[in-house]
Homo-oligomer: A and B are copies of this chain.
Amino acid sequence: MKATAKAHTNIALIKYWGKRDESLILPMNNSLSLTLDGFYTSTTVEFRNDLLEDVFYLDDKTVTGNEYYRVTSFLDLIRKQAGNDGLFAEIRSANQVPTAAGFASSASGFAALATAAVKALGLPYSNQELSVLTRQGSGSACRSIYGGFVEWQQGTKADGTDSYAVQVANANDWDIRVAAVVLSSDAKKVLSREGMKRTVETSPFYSGWLESVPSDLQAIKAGIKEKDFEQVGSISEANCLRMHATTLGANPPFMYWQSTTFLIMEAVRALRADGISAYFTIDAGPNVKVLYMPKDEEAVQHKLRSVPGVRNVIVSRPGSGISCM
């Protein structure tokens, strides 16, 4: 009745942007990510007969409110499938995902939670079933079931049973780097869920976004197969710019970028002008991640750290999928 699991977070190179079903968390388009070894969540779930409700500790602090509710609602799904509605759990999570770097800790969080909970209850889930389940906690978390490059296939069924992640390439296949650039100013918060929804509902560019994703996916998968770094990097950067462009068309328009975000984009372009192959990607927030090759470590670090407003640069390698302890 007790199990521990670890899951890494992931960065989307082809973005998940727009839901076709808000409650089942079904996406409007396929997305593709890279799981990162530097950032993870470890979670222990113990189901106990003596508990009257779930208790959730994150980094040894009791969690209440919305965050607690999200976790306990998610466990309800699993309890229902196990036919064990009245059994509550103690959940202990430790997060190695700095929010200042702009990673969604919900990705590693829900992947670790689902894996530990399912194992604690002895449910014989395949990774595919685990991905379907995890998706219902946090969309992008379904990709963290696998290591390396991972595609979330949107699926077509209304019940979401064909909307799950599949591995495209193993973490050990290709040694590339992702630098997470930590900004010194506090990130102003525009919730990604809210921004995504407003964009889908009001931006005249949303259909153009959806049109462009299939060719991006096809080209980036070919690039991953060939280990063509320019192709993978340039498609990632173009896809990110297209995602952010859709928000400029929302009503009212908005942008996730801040001035430091913009300076980092310029720094990455300057690296390329100097012959160093580096590409940026930006999720629904001001933080920038930079893709580069191991040989360019020093030049990239030096350039990024010289940008005013940058506090730290945290480097990660391709990471593995979920593991149980």
Given the complex, which residues of B lie within 8 Å of A244, measured CB to CB?
248
Q: Are A204 and B249 in contact (CB under 8 A)?
A: no
Assess whether A245 is interfacial by the CB under 8 Å rule.
yes
Given the complex, which residues of B lie within 8 Å of A311, measured CB to CB?
none
Given the complex, which residues of B lie within 8 Å of A257, measured CB to CB?
262
Q: Are B249 and A253 in contact (CB under 8 A)?
A: no
> Shortest Cβ distance from A308 into chain B, in angstroms?
10
The quantity of this chain's copies bound in the complex is 2
A126 to B186, CA, bound (A): 58
A206 to B204, CA, bound (A): 9
Interchain CB contact (< 8 A) of A259 among B234, B241, B252, B263: B263
A212 to B249, CA, bound (A): 9
Of A206, A208, A238, chain B has the most CB atoms within 10 Å of the CB of A208
Pairs across A and B, CB under 8 Å, 25 listed: A203-B208, A204-B208, A204-B209, A204-B211, A204-B212, A204-B242, A205-B205, A205-B242, A205-B245, A207-B207, A207-B208, A208-B208, A208-B249, A234-B252, A237-B253, A238-B251, A241-B248, A241-B249, A241-B255, A244-B248, A245-B245, A245-B246, A248-B248, A259-B259, A262-B262
Besides A207-B208, A257-B262, 14 more A-B contacts (Cβ < 8 Å) are: A203-B208, A204-B212, A204-B242, A205-B208, A205-B246, A207-B207, A208-B208, A234-B252, A238-B252, A241-B253, A242-B248, A245-B248, A259-B266, A262-B262
